[in-house]
Amino acid sequence: MGQRHPSKLILTLLGLLFLVTGCTFTVRIPAYSVRKSERPNLYRGVFHVHSKFSHDSKASLERIIRTAKRAGLDFVFVTDHNFFKDVRTTDHRLLLGLAAYHELKLPLDPLLLFASEISTDSGHVIALGIDEEPPDLWNADQVVNWIRENGGHPIVAHPLSPQKPWRQPFMEGIEGLELFTFSDIYYTRPIKELVLKSAFSFPHQFLRSVVAVRPELFTLWDGLLTKGHAAAFGAVDAHLRWEWFGFAPENFLLYFQSVTTYVHADERSEEKILDGLIRGASFIAFELYGDAQAFTFLAKSGDKVYRSGAVLDSNEEIEWLIESPKNAHIQFLRNGKVLKETDGTTLTLTTQLSGTYRVQVYRDQKLWIVANPIYVESLVEQGA
């Protein structure tokens, strides 16, 4: 029997080997099942992906689109290093993106968006909404000023990365920061531990063991929020390091499943998604702990309803409603301090105070969802 079917035997042995080791970097099963957002005007995507236009990534736009489809995404934000040096404008990049969809014979789904990650003497800044590279600037203040003067929006990338941290206090003009950056695991975890974990765990186990937000990042964010509006981003910072004849040993899908960004937007267009991200009309979710698309964070004042990123100029009572898709520990914060917390699926509260209000949701004591703030800027400052 065995001699008549040697290939079957080898395949069975290989299958057993893969099952036993569950090798994360060779077994490409998704870490969790995914479904695209079914809520109207809510779009599911990832932020901070590097393509082959970065010196340190080999991923083609075709591979990025294919991987994003497997991850059930509506959009992918590609943020290559100083990318306008290789590709002159976002228009050129959009054309390349179109060619990638054409190559795959796919409609424009998921949507590709583009920005540049700029190196400065103080760390990395993602310049959202610009269409060219700053003219040979290195000083972080000058880069941030240049981005703002050119209608862009500077976001600090991986502020506490051991390799490329942000080296000074946040200057005026910074509009957001990455609260989580998946690639930081490669600099914070011993490589031996990562290799062992990746070799002997399934993708969902691997992600559970390495995904975590450092509390200091919340402190940084709340500090930035005392100066003005600031959106938090969940970044995958995906690089595909090796590729040989179309084969990549890394499990690229893992990056795309490490943290998800949900954006409220009128439509799935470059302009609207970008605007939602900049305003912080968004929440981030670690969906290895559960599908987060049904999450709700609302403020009702008079007959109006507001979501993350909104600014209320009101002295009236505000009714807050937070709904978690599943039983969880919900924290409702004002100016960085917990105002109310509860276990369950719903938290409600009525307030009449100005402040910056945001939400954190935990499942099994793991951070699951972080909602960007709703800002209440009352005409009369109360309870400040």
Contact stretch for Zn ion (CB under 5 A) within 107-115, 200-208, 210-218, 232-240: 232-240
The CB-of-30 to Zn ion minimum distance in angstroms stands at: 23
The CB-of-157 to Zn ion minimum distance in angstroms stands at: 5
The Cα–Cα gap between 36 and 74 comes to 7
Backbone dihedral angles phi then psi of residue 169, each to the nearest 5 degrees: -60, 150
Which 121-140 positions form the footprint of Zn ion (CB under 5 A)? 124
Six-digit token string for 322 = 């937070």
**Tokens 């506490």 — which residue?**
160
Contact stretch for Zn ion (CB under 5 A) within 116-124, 259-267, 278-286, 360-368: 116-124
SS3 of residue 117 by DSSP:
strand
Comparison of 83 and 357: residue with beta carbon closer to Zn ion: 83
Number of residues that bind Zn ion (CB under 5 A): 4
Contact stretch for Zn ion (CB under 5 A) within 235-243, 249-257, 312-320, 367-375: 235-243
Taking each helix axis as running N to C, give the angle between helix 61-70 and helix 90-104, from 0 to 180 degrees, rounded to the nearest 10: 60
Confirm or reject binding of residue 177 to Zn ion (CB under 5 A): no
CB 144 within 8 A of CB 178: no
Comparison of 187 and 202: residue with beta carbon closer to Zn ion: 187
Backbone dihedral angles phi then psi of residue 289, each to the nearest 5 degrees: -100, 10
Q: Of all residues in this chain, which one has the CB nearest to Zn ion in the complex?
A: 124
The Cα–Cα gap between 251 and 248 comes to 8
The CB-of-260 to Zn ion minimum distance in angstroms stands at: 18
Comparison of 115 and 157: residue with beta carbon closer to Zn ion: 157
The Cα–Cα gap between 216 and 179 comes to 9
The CB-of-164 to Zn ion minimum distance in angstroms stands at: 5
The CB-of-158 to Zn ion minimum distance in angstroms stands at: 6
Six-digit token string for 222 = 């709340």
The Cα–Cα gap between 3 and 200 comes to 31
Comparison of 58 and 124: residue with beta carbon closer to Zn ion: 124
The CB-of-198 to Zn ion minimum distance in angstroms stands at: 21
What sign has the CA pseudo-torsion 348, 331, 316, 303? negative
Confirm or reject binding of residue 329 to Zn ion (CB under 5 A): no
Distances (CA, A) of 297 to 256, 293, 319, 330, 348: 24, 12, 11, 11, 10
Comparison of 18 and 138: residue with beta carbon closer to Zn ion: 138
Comparison of 123 and 280: residue with beta carbon closer to Zn ion: 123
The Cα–Cα gap between 221 and 219 comes to 5
- Per DSSP, the residues of 348-359 read EEEE---EEEEE
Which 151-170 positions form the footprint of Zn ion (CB under 5 A)? 157
Contacts of 84 (CB under 8 A, 6+ apart): 116, 131, 132, 133
The CB-of-50 to Zn ion minimum distance in angstroms stands at: 6
Contact stretch for Zn ion (CB under 5 A) within 170-178, 197-205, 211-219, 231-239: 231-239
The CB-of-167 to Zn ion minimum distance in angstroms stands at: 13
The Cα–Cα gap between 131 and 114 comes to 9
Confirm or reject binding of residue 237 to Zn ion (CB under 5 A): yes
Contact stretch for Zn ion (CB under 5 A) within 7-15, 89-97, 230-238, 288-296: 230-238
The CB-of-279 to Zn ion minimum distance in angstroms stands at: 22
**Tokens 């186990």 — which residue?**
205
Comparison of 225 and 236: residue with beta carbon closer to Zn ion: 236
Give the binding site for Zn ion (CB under 5 A): 117, 124, 157, 237
